[in-house]
Amino acid sequence: MRQSPMEFLLTRLGVRFGEAGSMRIALSAADEKYESSCIENLGLADTTFLYRIGLKGPKAGQFLVSLGLPVPQEPNHWEPLDGGGYLMRLGMSEFFLEDGPSGTFVKYISEKLGPDGHAGVYPVRRQDAGMVLCGKMQNELLAQTCNVNFAGMDGSDRIVVMTSMTGVSVVMIQAEVNGEPSWKIWCDGTFGHYLWDTLLEIALETGGGVIGCARLYPELG
Amino acid sequence: MTDLNNRQSVDAALEKNRLPRQAGEWIERNQRVYFTFEGKTYGGFVGDTVSSAIAASGNKVMGRSFKYHRSRGILSLSNHDINTMMQDENDPTIRADVVSAKEGMELRSVNTFGGLESDRGRFLNLFARFLPAGFYYKTFHTPKWLFPMWEKVFRTLTGLGVVNVDSPRIRTPKRYDFTDVLVIGAGPSGLSAAIAAAKEGAKVVLVDENARPGGTLTYDHGGLDENLELLGRLLDEIKRNPGIQLRPGTVATGYYADNWVPLVDEVRMTKMRAKTVIVASGAFEQPCVFRNNDLPGVMLASAAQRLVKRYAVRPGRNHVIVTSNSAGYRAALDMASSGASIAAIVDFRPEGEPSTWHERAVGLGIRILPGYCIYEAIPQEDKLGVSAAIARKLSSTGETEESGSQTISCDTILMAVGYAPAANLLYQAGTKMRYTHETEQFVPEALPDNVFACGRVNGVYTVPAQLLDGDRAGLAAAEKAGCPVSRKASAVPAEAVSPSHPYPVIAHPKGKNFVDFDEDLHLRDFYVSVQEAFDNIELMKRFTTVGMGPSQGKHSNMNAIRILARLTGKSIAEVGTTTARPFFHPVKLSHLAGRGFSPERFTPMHHRHAELGAVFMDAGNWKRPEYYRCEGMSRLETIRMEVRNVRTNVGMIDVGTLGKIEVFGPDSVRFIERMYTGLFAKQAVGTTRYALGLDESGVIIDDGVVGRLADEHFFVTTTTTGSAQVYREMNRWALLWGMDVGIVNATGYMAAMNLAGPKSRSILAPHCNIDISDESVPYLALRTCQIGEVLARIMRVGFVGELGYEIHVPSENGLYVWDLLMKEGEKHGIHPFGVEAQRVLRLEKGHIIVSQDTDGLTNPFDAACGWAVKMNKPFFIGQRSLKIAQNMERKQVLAGFSLSRGYVGELPKESHLVIEGGEIAGRITSITDSEALGRVIGLCFVRPDMNVIGQAIQFRLSDGSMVPAEIVATPFYDPEGLRQKVQG
């Protein structure tokens, strides 16, 4: 019932599909041998199937703390969540949360907030396109698409980067996914097709390509 | 390409001027390349440039000049002039001085008529005296009717390479990069600066436009090996230091704010951001101005040295060097060491060269003429080279003296009379420059923060001083970049002797003493400019076009400034320089274009639309179906069918591109009241209202619908193109008003579709978990429900004038819901409809489209939307301006019009004018041929006095013919609005 903005493009690439989070997902690339080299070199995965939600409002941080979540103290930082998710602080009063494949925080918060939110806590029903970029050439791809000095960043600082990539506004964090140093990238879903297509074009030129979600989340395979 | 036999036969001939192996040469003698130039085969080595390979064959003529088509040869051998510009099938601007000779190249000269040797344009040289600078300002104006012919003639005569519009598109990726210290120029000072900065811990990127680093150390040797040894040591140090990234073949082409520097190499442009920038870009050697100084065989001394030392090519066999500095002597020594004979060193300075270079030259028996200049170069009979130089003594006032004139046989004249700093990047960075007589050049007086200069561009010429100057700049740049510096820099000694002559310009009654080689400007042209009162540097530049050619004045601007100063009696500082803008060096369009990033937005149903035959159109950065192609039907027929189906049956349109904003919070009602012109305070939960948004001047900027989901939760829609602006403005105003509201842009989060037509309820009802009868969901109602398993918001709106439901669902469920309703609709004859059908439908209802039926001055009263404005509210944006506008005489109002039923003929179009009494009285904003109404209808602006039902008006078509129409009431279709309120 849910659909990724990149599903059409993935179909065209002949990936092996499965299902997760009520969404058809690319479990693996058409050529699994090449996929293995992409993990090493430059891999791009569609992780839109993961559930996510945003919160806005002066009491949003307080609300998340009350739920026992690890809320970043400063804007533009993130904290990991149980189940492989992330809680990102986008501003003083704005948060973005993505569950891991087995996470349940989004559902829980969504139910708690209801459609109209609480006083001072407003739900943002985020529908981002989600992607993961991994491999040793990831900085080369980023250098061609974005004017942020990623090479100078340290993943352990848990910084949230909000910038423009190929002309599209994105939120990015540097994190390990299944032990692979990666960049997680989110953009407005309506730009997902364009961003994916553009990144993949560069990735292919750089000796990379599509990787399936099972490479990142083996439990899906 | 050339066959093997041909290659073998040409090899010997083509190496006529190739020297034995030179220390530090750049060519790979074991790897041959062959190419053709003007149909003739040339051979060279890997590492040769096109120019050096051609020069190795003894051929000196490589181009024709722009205006007079004079023969031209190597001038700078450094990509700083266009004497040797060539073209191939795809590239019209091949700079042969620096482009590597490659196997299979097929090159020809630019700007010739019939080839380089037999160029028919060369006869223009005979008419040179009739074609002074600015001649086209005063001629060809009359008779007027001849001007098109002249224009054609000049368009044919001018231009350089020919652009092949069928050239394959080259994709050159751009990339961003970052560093602590960017050093521009890898000559002695740049190398020294990079080493100093890196030793202090800075990350350094060192770029140089040449194929290899070293700058003058690679060629300016004075017959000794010291500089090469020094270069070896410096490069070893660079290689050992992992903090330095050396990028040869890379040009820093401009400087932008915050230390953004575009670096252009062969394959891409890198946008480099550096914490600090060191400009060690050196200086452009300047030509001496004397008659026939443009003949092939007359070149800059540094060009000759580069030919010898980098490419092992002999520039000629018998040289005259005209100089005013030590570099001329070193060039003479370098030529002598290559086996060439030196006919004379002609030194402008009566006192001659004070350094030991003089002694060395004398020691080799070289004849020196101190206090002399070259008055004229004597061409060979075929005008393709030099046969002699006429040297004349200079008087104490700098005039040439006829007595004592000497004619010196030679085939090459080398010019070493001074430099102009390559300070373009410094100027662009905002450096304040000053002219100093110590070096007779402009040097930095005040540099911007984070920008440093060293070496020749800083007025430092001797190698030991350049090393110190680079070291100083490197330390300072590293420190500024945040690296703790461990030591202090040593003082840099001042230049003992000026490397540049203050006026290396020799007048000649017969002219052809060129100042600008790009534009064929000789000294007389500058006299004319001043006579015509174009006597400041910017005006002179425009009048003469000096510095406006492809080399952008690199070899002409400084001499032009000196000439202007002399002619006007001003100092050089008073004359000043022209403005240096990026890019200071040519950049190929393929590099500028790079990989195109033009973000496109797709709704979740995009690919389904494509499968349904959608023809897409752009709406901002969205792709929207304009209509859905039907087999055997024209575009117009298809759109009419889509309209008809909505009116009589049911259709569905993707309206996910509409802006969607959620407003939460205790102040949300007050906030909406202020943002829009209507009344919302008492709006019931579960209802929608039309919303008209104005700017502070009362001009309509957007419209949409405000739906109230809860007491403190509103859902607002905006126009497709207005969503970002409205969201931004809402946030701005919320902040300014200090309101407790949460604003969420849900445009991308929600898919939306409008199910419209008499059968729409029948399609939606079976899949909706609530009763959607007219009683439960009346016109203008808003409900939250489930469609299938998806949480949805439905709004009963009537933009197209039929029973209809605007359905909003999460984006990721958009396709599911669309497919569900389309499947259900099959039995009801549903057909998707596109933007064009929607435009017709809404126009029949008389609904405006903001920015089509309004413009940047239209207020609600002009647009006949006064009904949507509640002036008695305490406040809304634009209210104050509207209060003033209410009392002002209106200039235009939006009115409905209709052509007569059965009108046959060309239809007027949007923006065709309303003409009344021969005057413009308005314009059409929307028009359509309505099948439902059986006539052409539309909206137009007219004078208020013409806005009377039944008033006859007329439109003027593009061909001037008039079409009669009359003002009619709106809505045109279903004026009572019964159809959208119909109980289905």
Kindly report the CATH number assigned to the domain that includes residue A41. Answer: 3.30.1360.120
- The H or E element that residue B894 is part of is strand B893-898
Whether A189 sits inside 8 A of B746 (CB atoms) is no
List of chain B residues whose C-beta atoms are within 8 Å of the C-beta of residue A148? 176
List of chain A residues whose C-beta atoms are within 8 Å of the C-beta of residue B740? 58, 120
Q: Are residues A61 and A119 in the same domain?
A: yes
List of chain B residues whose C-beta atoms are within 8 Å of the C-beta of residue A152? 178
Q: Report the C-alpha gap between A212 and A215 in whole angstroms.
A: 6
CB B698 within 8 A of CB B672: no
> Of B746, B776, B800, which marks where a domain is finished?
B746
Query: A interface mutation test: which of B270, B811, B817 has the most A CBs within 10 A?
Result: B811
Residue A159 forms part of a structural domain = yes
Instruction: Tell me which residue in A1, A188, A193 faces B790 most closely, judged by beta carbons.
Output: A1
> Of A124, A151, A166, which marks where a domain is finished?
A124
Question: Minimal Cα distance from A145: which residue of B?
Answer: B175
Whether B812 sits inside 8 A of A57 (CB atoms) is no
List of chain A residues whose C-beta atoms are within 8 Å of the C-beta of residue B173? 144, 202, 205
- Neighbouring-strand partners of residue A52: A98
| Bridge pairing between strands B651-654 and B831-832 | parallel
Q: Are residues A203 and A112 in the same domain?
A: no
pLDDT tens digits, B68-127 = 999 999 999 998 888 999 999 999 999 999 999 999 999 999 999 999 988 998 888 888
Q: Report the C-alpha gap between B843 and B800 in whole angstroms.
A: 8
Q: What pLDDT score does B5 carry?
A: 57
Residue A76 forms part of a structural domain = yes
Q: Report the C-alpha gap between B752 and B653 in whole angstroms.
A: 9
Q: Are residues A39 and A56 in the same domain?
A: no
Query: A interface mutation test: which of B654, B728, B812 has the most A CBs within 10 A?
Result: B812
Q: Does A51 touch chain B (CB under 8 A)?
A: no
Q: What is the CATH number of the domain that holds A82?
A: 3.30.70
Q: Cα(first)–Cα(last) distance of chain A, in Å? A: 20
Other beta carbons less than 10 A from residue B553's beta carbon? 25
B775 alpha carbon, distance to own chain's centre: 61
Instruction: Tell me which residue in A3, A57, A148 faces B742 most closely, judged by beta carbons.
Output: A57
Whether A119 sits inside 8 A of B666 (CB atoms) is yes
CA-CA-CA-CA torsion sign (B298, B302, B305, B310): negative
> Of A83, A99, A124, which marks where a domain is finished?
A124
Q: Are residues A113 and A132 in the same domain?
A: no
Whether B813 sits inside 8 A of A2 (CB atoms) is yes
CB B290 within 8 A of CB B388: no
Q: Are residues A132 and A201 in the same domain?
A: yes
Question: Minimal Cα distance from B750: which residue of A?
Answer: A127
Q: Residue type for B236, please?
A: D
CB B44 within 8 A of CB B116: no
> How far is the alpha carbon of B778 from chain A, nearest alpha carbon, in Å?
23
Q: Does A122 touch chain B (CB under 8 A)?
A: yes
Question: Minimal Cα distance from A191: which residue of B?
Answer: B601
Q: Does B604 touch chain A (CB under 8 A)?
A: yes
**Chain B residues 243-282 with a CB less than 8 Å from chain A:** 271, 273
pLDDT tens digits, B310-331 = 999 999 999 999 999 999 999 9
Question: Minimal Cα distance from A127: which residue of B?
Answer: B749
- Taking every pair of Cα atoms in chain A, the longest distance, rounded to a whole number of angstroms, is 53
Q: Are residues B295 and B256 in the same domain?
A: no
pLDDT tens digits, B175-187 = 999 999 999 999 9
Q: Are residues B432 and B458 in the same domain?
A: yes
Q: Are residues A103 and A73 in the same domain?
A: yes
Q: Are residues B447 and B366 in the same domain?
A: no
Whether A127 sits inside 8 A of B271 (CB atoms) is no
Mean pLDDT of B395-416: 94
Q: What pLDDT score does A119 carry?
A: 86
- pLDDT of residue B7 exceeding 80, the answer is no
CB B521 within 8 A of CB B556: yes
Mean pLDDT of B278-287: 98
List of chain B residues whose C-beta atoms are within 8 Å of the C-beta of residue A96? none
In sequence order, the 6+-apart residues with CB closer than 8 A to the CB of B396 are: none
Q: Are residues A42 and A135 in the same domain?
A: yes
- pLDDT of residue B980 exceeding 90, the answer is no
- pLDDT of residue B1 exceeding 50, the answer is no
> Of B569, B592, B615, which marks where a domain is finished?
B592
Instruction: Tell me which residue in B175, B178, B666 faces A149 most closely, judged by beta carbons.
Output: B178
List of chain B residues whose C-beta atoms are within 8 Å of the C-beta of residue A46? none
Residue A18 forms part of a structural domain = yes
Q: Are residues B320 and B257 in the same domain?
A: no
Q: Are residues A148 and A203 in the same domain?
A: yes
Closest-CA residue to B119 (of B69, B156, B61, B153): B69
**Chain A residues 3-32 with a CB less than 8 Å from chain B:** 3-5, 8, 23
Q: Cα(first)–Cα(last) distance of chain B, in Å? A: 79
Q: Report the C-alpha gap between B507 and B515 in whole angstroms.
A: 11
Q: Does A110 touch chain B (CB under 8 A)?
A: no
Q: What pLDDT score does B10 carry?
A: 67
| B965 phi/psi in degrees, rounded to 5 | -155, 175
CA-CA-CA-CA torsion sign (A187, A190, A192, A198): negative
Percent of chain B with pLDDT over 90: 87
Q: Report the C-alpha gap between B227 and B296 in whole angstroms.
A: 29
ipTM of the complex: 0.97
Residue A157 forms part of a structural domain = yes
**Chain B residues 160-199 with a CB less than 8 Å from chain A:** 173-178
Long-range contacts of A24-29 (CB under 8 A, 24+ apart): A25/A49, A25/A212, A25/A213, A25/A220, A26/A210, A26/A212, A26/A213, A27/A212, A27/A213, A27/A214, A27/A220, A27/A221, A28/A211, A28/A212, A28/A214, A28/A215, A28/A221, A29/A209, A29/A210, A29/A211, A29/A212
Q: Are residues A40 and A137 in the same domain?
A: yes
Instruction: Tell me which residue in A125, A147, A198 faces B271 most closely, judged by beta carbons.
Output: A147
B588 alpha carbon, distance to own chain's centre: 11
Q: Residue type for B944, please?
A: P
Q: Are residues B578 and B457 in the same domain?
A: no
Residue B312 forms part of a structural domain = yes
CB B881 within 8 A of CB B677: no
CA-CA-CA-CA torsion sign (B540, B545, B546, B551): positive
List of chain B residues whose C-beta atoms are within 8 Å of the C-beta of residue A120? 665, 740
Residue that the structure tokens 């989110």 belong to:
A186
Q: Does A114 touch chain B (CB under 8 A)?
A: no
Helix (H, G, I), strand (E, B) or coil at B280: coil
Instruction: Tell me which residue in A8, A57, A189 faces B607 most closely, judged by beta carbons.
Output: A8
Q: Does A84 touch chain B (CB under 8 A)?
A: no
Question: How is residue A95 written in tokens?
Answer: 């948060």
Question: How is residue B472 written in tokens?
Answer: 């100083």
- pLDDT of residue B983 exceeding 70, the answer is no
Q: Does B738 touch chain A (CB under 8 A)?
A: no
- Tally of domains in chain A: 2
Residue B856 forms part of a structural domain = no
Residue span of the structural domain in which B429 resides:
174-284+420-480
Whether A122 sits inside 8 A of B178 (CB atoms) is no
Q: Are residues B12 and B100 in the same domain?
A: yes
Q: Are residues B123 and B215 in the same domain?
A: no
In sequence order, the 6+-apart residues with CB closer than 8 A to the CB of B286 are: B300, B415, B417, B418, B419, B420, B500, B504, B555, B558, B559
Question: How is residue A3 written in tokens?
Answer: 């659909």
Q: What share of chain A is helix, strand, coil (3-state, %, to 5)?
A: 30, 35, 35
Instruction: Tell me which residue in B175, B597, B712 faces A143 most closely, judged by beta carbons.
Output: B175
Q: Are residues A150 and A94 in the same domain?
A: no
Closest-CA residue to A211 (of A32, A4, A50, A48): A32
In sequence order, the 6+-apart residues with CB closer than 8 A to the CB of B311 are: B25, B26, B27, B47, B48, B49, B52, B55, B56
Residue B578 forms part of a structural domain = yes
Whether A191 sits inside 8 A of B811 (CB atoms) is no
CB B326 within 8 A of CB B357: yes
Whether A190 sits inside 8 A of B748 (CB atoms) is yes
The model's confidence at residue B9, banded by pLDDT at 50, 70 and 90, is low
CB B413 within 8 A of CB B320: yes
Whether A189 sits inside 8 A of B749 (CB atoms) is yes
Other beta carbons less than 10 A from residue B635's beta carbon? 13
Q: Report the C-alpha gap between B867 and B369 in whole angstroms.
A: 94
- pLDDT of residue B817 exceeding 90, the answer is yes
Q: Are residues A18 and A79 in the same domain?
A: no
Residue A1 forms part of a structural domain = no
Q: Does A179 touch chain B (CB under 8 A)?
A: no
Question: How is residue A209 written in tokens?
Answer: 């390509």
Residue that the structure tokens 């159109």 belong to:
B617
Q: Does B811 touch chain A (CB under 8 A)?
A: yes
Residue A2 forms part of a structural domain = no
Instruction: State yes or no: cis peptide before B971, omega within 30 of 0.
Output: yes
Q: What pLDDT score does B958 carry?
A: 95
- pLDDT of residue B374 exceeding 70, the answer is yes
How many helices (H) and strands (E) are present in chain A, helices listed first? 7, 13
Question: How is residue A90 written in tokens?
Answer: 């986008």
Question: How is residue A162 written in tokens?
Answer: 């909000």
pLDDT tens digits, B597-650 = 999 999 999 999 999 999 999 999 999 999 999 999 999 999 999 999 999 999
Mean pLDDT of B414-439: 97
> Of A97, A124, A151, which marks where a domain is finished?
A124
Question: How is residue B146 written in tokens?
Answer: 């001849």
Q: Are residues B280 and B426 in the same domain?
A: yes
| Bridge pairing between strands B521-522 and B614-619 | unpaired
Residue B70 forms part of a structural domain = yes
CB B56 within 8 A of CB B44: yes
- pLDDT of residue B2 exceeding 50, the answer is no
Q: Are residues B82 and B189 in the same domain?
A: no
> Of B592, B620, B635, which marks where a domain is finished?
B592
Whether A56 sits inside 8 A of B174 (CB atoms) is no
Question: Minimal Cα distance from B712: which residue of A?
Answer: A116
Q: Are residues B512 and B364 in the same domain?
A: no
Question: How is residue B494 written in tokens?
Answer: 């001042």
List of chain A residues whose C-beta atoms are within 8 Å of the C-beta of residue B604? 3, 5, 189-190
SS (H, E, C) B366-386: CCEEECEEEEEEEECCCCCCE
Percent of chain A with pLDDT over 90: 92
Instruction: Tell me which residue in B601, B664, B812 faces A122 most closely, judged by beta carbons.
Output: B664
Q: Are residues A215 and A133 in the same domain?
A: yes
Q: Are residues B390 and B302 in the same domain?
A: yes
Residue B470 forms part of a structural domain = yes
Other beta carbons less than 10 A from residue B94's beta carbon? 20
CB–CB contacts below 8 A, A to B: 122
Q: Report the C-alpha gap between B768 and B755 in whole angstroms.
A: 13
Residue span of the structural domain in which A193 resides:
7-48+128-220
- Tally of domains in chain B: 6
Instruction: State yes or no: cis peptide before B143, omega within 30 of 0.
Output: yes
Q: Is A89 exposed, middle or buried (0-12, 13-18, 19+ CB in 10 A)?
A: buried
Q: Does B784 touch chain A (CB under 8 A)?
A: yes
List of chain A residues whose C-beta atoms are within 8 Å of the C-beta of residue B622? 190
List of chain B residues whose C-beta atoms are within 8 Å of the C-beta of residue A195? 599
Q: Are residues B411 and B304 in the same domain?
A: yes
Closest-CA residue to B306 (of B52, B94, B45): B52
As a dihedral over the C-alpha atoms of residue B846, residue B849, residue B855, residue B858, rounded to 10 degrees, the angle is 50
In sequence order, the 6+-apart residues with CB closer than 8 A to the CB of B375 are: B290, B291, B390, B391, B392, B400, B405, B506, B508
Residue B563 forms part of a structural domain = yes
